Amino acid sequence: MLEVRALGSRYGRIPALHGIDLRVGAGELVALVGANGAGKTTLLRTISGVQPASGGAIGFEGREVTALSARARVKLGIVQVPEGRQVFAPMSVEDNLRLGAFARGRADALDEVIAFFPALREKRRQPAGLLSGGQQQMLAIARALMAQPRLLLLDEPSMGLAPRLVAEIFAHIAALRARGTTVLLVDQNARAALAVADRGYVMEAGRIALQGVAADLLRDPQVQRAYLGL
C-alpha cells in the first residue's frame, strides 16, 4: 500500500531523514520506534505531505504522491493523527468528528465511529477541551476515522497518558488492525507498539537502523538494550 524509497527531508539546511526505505502492506500494522529526535514524526509528516521531501519517492496504492499536497493525499486516504492530539478545544466532540469528514469520508458515519469509543459516546455534546487526555486521544483517532482512511498514520498516541489509559489506547489500536485498517504507528513506548504490530522499524538519527517482524524485534538483544530497558 505504501512504499517509501530513499526518502530524505530537511529543516532548512539540516537533514532530518536520510535515505529512508519503508513499506506498509494493506491491512498491516507497522510500528516505527526509536529515541527522541530520531526522525519518527518527521517521517510521518513527510508521508502525509505536511513536511516536504528533499529527495526520494513515496508511492501509495500504485501511484507516486511525493509531489502532491497534504490535502490531495488526504483525499486519497492518507490520514494522520498528529502528535499532541490537536483536537479543537472549544468545539463539541461531535463537531470535531464532523470536521474529520470535511475533505473525505461521510459525516453520517458519526454514530458508527463513536460506537467504537464508548468513552466518547456520553460526551458527544461537550467541548473537546473538557475531555481528559486519554479521551482527547480517542477523539483524535475517531476524528481521523471519520475520513475513512486507507492508511492511518498515528503519531505518539500514548504520549503523556497514565499506564491504564496507555493500555486502553493500544487495545483500540489492536482492534483497528483487527477490523482491517492499515496503520503506521509511531510511539515512544516501543514495547507496547511492537506488541500490537505485525512488523517494525527502528529509527536512529534519521535512518532506519533495524527492521523486521515485530515479535523478532522484541526479542532482539540490541532493541532490548536500547529501547526496552532490559
Give the nearest distance from C-beta 51 to ligand ATP in angstroms: 8
| Residue number with CB closer to ligand ATP (113 or 186) | 186
> Burial letters for 71-104: b for 16+ Cβ neighbours within 10 Å, e otherwise?
eebbebbbbbbbbebebeeeebbbebbbbbbeeb
| Residue number with CB closer to ligand ATP (9 or 96) | 9
| Residue number with CB closer to ligand ATP (82 or 105) | 82
Chain centre distance of CA 217? 19
Give the nearest distance from C-beta 75 to ligand ATP in angstroms: 25
Give the nearest distance from C-beta 12 to ligand ATP in angstroms: 7
Give the nearest distance from C-beta 194 to ligand ATP in angstroms: 16
Quick one: which H or E segment has residue 44? helix 40-48
Give the nearest distance from C-beta 166 to ligand ATP in angstroms: 15
DSSP string, 139-192: HHHHHHHTT--SEEEEE-TTTT--HHHHHHHHHHHHHHHHTT-EEEEE-S-HHH
| Residue number with CB closer to ligand ATP (42 or 96) | 42
Which residue ranges make up the site for ligand ATP (CB under 6 A)? Answer: 11, 16, 34, 36-42, 188
CB distance 155 to 83 below 8 Å: yes
| Residue number with CB closer to ligand ATP (37 or 163) | 37
CB atoms within 10 A of CB 167: 13
